[in-house]
């Protein structure tokens, strides 16, 4: 038997006592000394989560006496059993005691795995194991008997008071620990988390354990250096880099920024806000300026340093906005590393840059996924999947929401079916964790009720009334064939050489997209014709957008054929847009790419109802209900001014809210149906079986593929994953996905030829054969 004081958590010198106490103290600092049931559960789980490592077989591995992993060396289950037994001695009663015990037990049991069984079912399974006469029972008993339980008991007596835990130290004996599980009454545990507030409390306790356990295990400390962010960073950046052009739009942007800052600071104690402002009115910089002012205000008043979490719907615009944030901070003289500004999405290469000279780059993925930064730029997917999930790796960052301010830009992109669940979750998180949420858009959905959130631009309607940058021409009274569409658009384009024009289509396949691209390229050969779709690799797509932007900024006209990918956040501005029928919020977002900066005479957005002769082109792309709602709102309107967009948006979202069916994914979590959640919650609907191809166009592409191919030679899966993470950004930059009837489970290399990957159009089709 190893003395508890000599037991190791991690070799060579991370002692178990120090690790457990560090994780517990970090949770106590996070939740405060008067933290309620779930704050105490987080502290107790932190204190006991690895106590099962004190068993003889685990310590033999730690001290190098053996390198074999056996069922006897596992530690989560004996740790969870001790957690349940100790938690049973809390000064609580009834349902509160049941929630406390179950929270501590589940958090410890699953701190190295995902949440799996419904709440009480984990206890049922364990009771069956203890009551069995087979080897599983013998292993548990042997593990407990091999531990220095008297030493653990004495240790607990000395620290419970210091940690402000309302728990009496029980006598630790194997038979008492086992008996506490046997005597558990699973039926009394049913519906312990029926109240959503209780479930969010558990999630906080579980996430706190995951977060600090992993951070301490990686670096031997949970201490984090915090950084001051200058509250005048945005004005400094604007003064240094942006030349102000006198005009109405400049005045609107300045007023939006001043009003947003004033209202947010004046109502700093609230938790739910909306910002409704026209596209191109400077919401991104205005919001950053306001939250930096709020952060400074609360730091001075309460000593709280808010974490800023800025979220966007698509990875395609993350790079652009992350670069803006970096430029803003650097303009104030900050040396920006990952501790100050962090980018996180599924394609990003997790290189975490730290001011700590001893930081291990191999921990980059952990620190990136744990959001160890003052400002995080991420996606809706990463934010919502830190709440609505059973995944351990995502839930470890849920706790970062405490004392944070979350900005959701272009929030209309959240599907209607999740509004009610997201609202209920945000409402509890905001009030429980002191989290502030700002929802920003030009077309505000009814995600927050009017009585729940404060609009930070109370007189936002005046900003819409002042604008006349564009007119929406409704051509959807009759269907238009693709041939007629081409002829009408090409004829107009021929007569206006000086104008830039963009066609936004709903389909990216060869029958529609390629056909129109080739027709326009042949007919309008006097100007550049660009194609944009997700058939291009991310690398090619970024380069194409940058080329288009550079040309437009130089006042050189061009013609663009694209899909919906330009709708939100892509800073492109053309004179004329032709948009196929779509939901109203998509139409308005598309219109935001027309005469965006108000520098020309009024731009024109033509709305068409395109058909290929068999079906309308919006079908199989959009929900028919959303199209019906759009046509209802637009009925009888031929020419729509920009100032009317706000009213149309309100009418549209009222219809959508009142007549669509919500999906209560939060209830799935409350009921402990953890294994169902991934199938229930998807921000982007499945497109069917998909095949991933790595596109090889250059020698550099080939080198990246060869580096990837060599990874299979690395036997150690942890080392293989580390090596892939270093390659991940370059690798994913060359990936396209396409629907197929027989997808392979592996990424396939694809040599770019005119038959497989066209440099202008992107993916053309699967080759006759692929060499693996």
Q: Using alpha carbons, select from 287, 562, 247, 558 the residue that is nearest to residue 410.
A: 287
Query: When comparing pLDDT for 767 and 563, which is higher?
Result: 563
Average pLDDT of the chain is: 92
- From CA 131, how far away is CA 127, in angstroms rounded? 6
- From CA 540, how far away is CA 732, in angstroms rounded? 12
Average pLDDT over residues 62-75: 92
Q: Are the CB atoms for 288 and 321 separated by under 8 Å?
A: no
Range with lowest mean pLDDT among 79-88, 470-479, 737-746? 737-746
For the chain, give every residue range classified as CATH 3.40.50.300: 233-463, 468-637
Share of the chain above pLDDT 70, in %: 97
Q: Phi and psi at residue 343, in whole multiples of 5°?
A: -105, 130
Average pLDDT over residues 2-29: 96
Count the residues in the chain: 772
Q: How far is CA 42 from CA 102, 171, 312, in A?
A: 12, 22, 31
Q: 647: how many CB neighbours lie within 10 A of its CB? A: 13
E strands in 320-435: 341-344, 375-379, 404-409
Average pLDDT over residues 434-458: 92
Q: How far is CA 717 from CA 595, 714, 720, 721, 723, in A?
A: 52, 7, 5, 6, 10
| Chain center to CA of 59 | 39
Query: Which residues, 6+ apart, have CB-to-CB distance to 687 below 8 Å?
Result: 739
What are the pLDDT digits (tens) for 618-658?
998 999 999 999 999 999 999 999 999 999 999 999 999 98
Q: Which pLDDT belongs to residue 689?
A: 80
Query: When comparing pLDDT for 745 and 489, which is higher?
Result: 489
pTM (two decimals): 0.92
Q: Which pLDDT belongs to residue 765?
A: 82
Q: Which pLDDT belongs to residue 687?
A: 61
| Chain center to CA of 396 | 13
- Is the pLDDT at 349 greater than 80? The verdict is no
The correct answer on CATH 3.30.930.10 for the domain covering 233-463 is no
Q: Are the CB atoms for 315 and 299 separated by under 8 Å?
A: no
For the chain, give every residue range classified as CATH 1.10.3210: 4-219
Q: Which pLDDT belongs to residue 769?
A: 46
Q: Are the CB atoms for 55 and 147 separated by under 8 Å?
A: yes
Q: Are the CB atoms for 278 and 642 separated by under 8 Å?
A: yes
- Is the pLDDT at 363 greater than 90? The verdict is no
Q: How far is CA 294 from CA 261, 372, 535, in A?
A: 8, 20, 42
Q: How confident is the model at residue 772 (pLDDT cuts 50, 70, 90)?
A: very low
- Is the pLDDT at 160 greater than 50? The verdict is yes
Q: How far is CA 732 from CA 318, 393, 724, in A?
A: 15, 20, 11
The CATH fold assigned to 468-637 is Rossmann fold (3.40.50)
The correct answer on CATH 1.10.3210 for the domain covering 4-219 is yes
Q: Which pLDDT belongs to residue 182?
A: 92
First to last CA, the chain: 53
């Amino acid at each position: 038997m190893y003395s508890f004081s000599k037991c190791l958590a991690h070799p060579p010198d991370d002692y178990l006592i120090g690790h457990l106490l560090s994780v517990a103290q970090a949770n106590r600092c996070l939740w405060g000394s008067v933290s309620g049931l779930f704050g105490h559960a987080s502290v107790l789980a932190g204190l006991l989560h690895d106590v099962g490592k004190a068993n003889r077989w685990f310590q033999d591995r730690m001290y190098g006496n053996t390198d074999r992993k056996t069922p006897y060396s596992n530690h989560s289950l004996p740790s969870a059993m001790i957690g349940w037994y100790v938690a049973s001695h809390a000064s609580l009663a009834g349902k509160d005691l049941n929630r406390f015990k179950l929270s501590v037990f589940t958090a410890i049991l699953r701190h190295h795995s995902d949440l799996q069984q419904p709440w009480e079912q984990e206890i049922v399974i364990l009771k069956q194991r203890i009551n069995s006469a087979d080897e599983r029972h013998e292993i548990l008993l042997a593990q407990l008997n091999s531990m220095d339980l008297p030493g653990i008991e004495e240790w607990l007596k000395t620290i419970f008071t210091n940690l402000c835990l309302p728990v009496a130290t029980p006598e630790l004996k194997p038979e008492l620990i086992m008996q506490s599980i046997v005597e558990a009454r699973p039926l009394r545990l049913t519906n312990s988390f029926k109240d959503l507030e209780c479930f969010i409390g558990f999630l906080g306790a579980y996430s706190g354990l995951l977060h600090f356990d992993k951070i301490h295990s990686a670096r031997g400390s949970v201490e984090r250096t915090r950084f001051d962010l200058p509250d005048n960073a945005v004005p400094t950046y604007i003064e240094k880099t942006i030349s102000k052009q006198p005009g109405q739009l400049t005045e609107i942007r300045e007023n939006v920024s001043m009003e947003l800052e004033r209202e947010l600071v004046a109502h700093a104690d609230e938790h739910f806000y909306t910002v409704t402002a026209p596209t191109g009115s400077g919401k991104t910089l205005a919001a950053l300026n306001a939250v930096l002012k709020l952060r400074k205000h609360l730091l001075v008043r309460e000593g709280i340093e808010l974490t800023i979490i800025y979220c966007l719907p698509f990875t395609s615009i993350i790079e652009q906005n992350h670069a803006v944030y970096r430029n803003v901070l650097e303009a104030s003289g900050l040396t920006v590393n990952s501790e100050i500004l962090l980018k996180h999405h599924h394609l990003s290469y997790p290189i975490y840059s730290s001011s700590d000279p001893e930081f291990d780059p191999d921990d980059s993925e952990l620190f990136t996924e744990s959001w160890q930064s003052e400002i995080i730029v991420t996606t809706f997917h990463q934010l919502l999947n830190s709440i609505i999930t059973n995944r351990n790796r995502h839930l470890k960052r849920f706790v970062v929401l405490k004392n944070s301010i979350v900005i959701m830009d272009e929030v209309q992109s959240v599907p209607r079916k999740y509004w009610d669940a997201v609202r209920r979750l945000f409402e509890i998180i905001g009030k429980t964790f002191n989290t502030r949420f700002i929802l920003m858009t030009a077309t505000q959905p009814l995600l927050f009720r009017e009585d729940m959130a404060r609009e930070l631009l109370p007189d936002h309607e005046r900003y819409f009334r002042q604008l006349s940058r564009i007119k929406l021409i409704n051509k959807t009274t009759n269907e238009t064939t693709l041939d007629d569409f081409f002829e009408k658009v090409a004829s107009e384009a021929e007569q206006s050489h000086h104008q830039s024009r963009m066609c936004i289509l709903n389909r990216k396949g060869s029958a529609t997209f390629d056909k129109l691209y080739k027709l326009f390229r042949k007919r309008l050969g006097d100007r550049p014709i660009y194609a944009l779709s997700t058939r291009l690799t991310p690398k090619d797509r970024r380069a194409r957008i940058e080329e288009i932007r550079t040309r437009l900024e130089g006042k050189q006209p061009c013609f663009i054929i694209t899909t919906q990918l330009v709708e939100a956040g892509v800073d492109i501005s053309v004179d004329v847009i032709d948009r196929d029928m779509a939901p109203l919020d998509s139409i308005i977002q598309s219109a935001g790419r027309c005469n965006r900066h108000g520098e020309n005479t009024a731009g024109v957005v033509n709305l068409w109802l395109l058909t290929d002769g068999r079906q309308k082109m919006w079908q199989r792309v959009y929900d028919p209900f959303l199209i019906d709602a759009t046509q209802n709102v637009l009925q009888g309107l031929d020419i729509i001014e920009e100032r009317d967009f706000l009213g149309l948006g309100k009418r549209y979202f009222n219809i959508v809210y009142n007549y669509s069916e919500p999906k209560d994914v939060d209830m799935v979590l409350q009921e402990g149906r953890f294994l169902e959640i991934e199938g229930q919650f998807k921000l982007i609907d499945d497109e069917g079986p998909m095949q991933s191809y790595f596109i090889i166009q250059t020698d550099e592409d080939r080198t990246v593929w060869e580096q990837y191919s060599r990874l299979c030679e690395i036997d150690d899966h942890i080392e293989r994953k580390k090596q892939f993470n270093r390659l991940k950004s370059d690798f994913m930059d060359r990936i396209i996905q396409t629907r197929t009837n027989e997808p392979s489970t592996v990424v396939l290399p694809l040599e770019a030829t005119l038959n497989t990957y066209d440099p202008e159009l992107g993916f053309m089709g699967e080759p006759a054969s692929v060499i693996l």
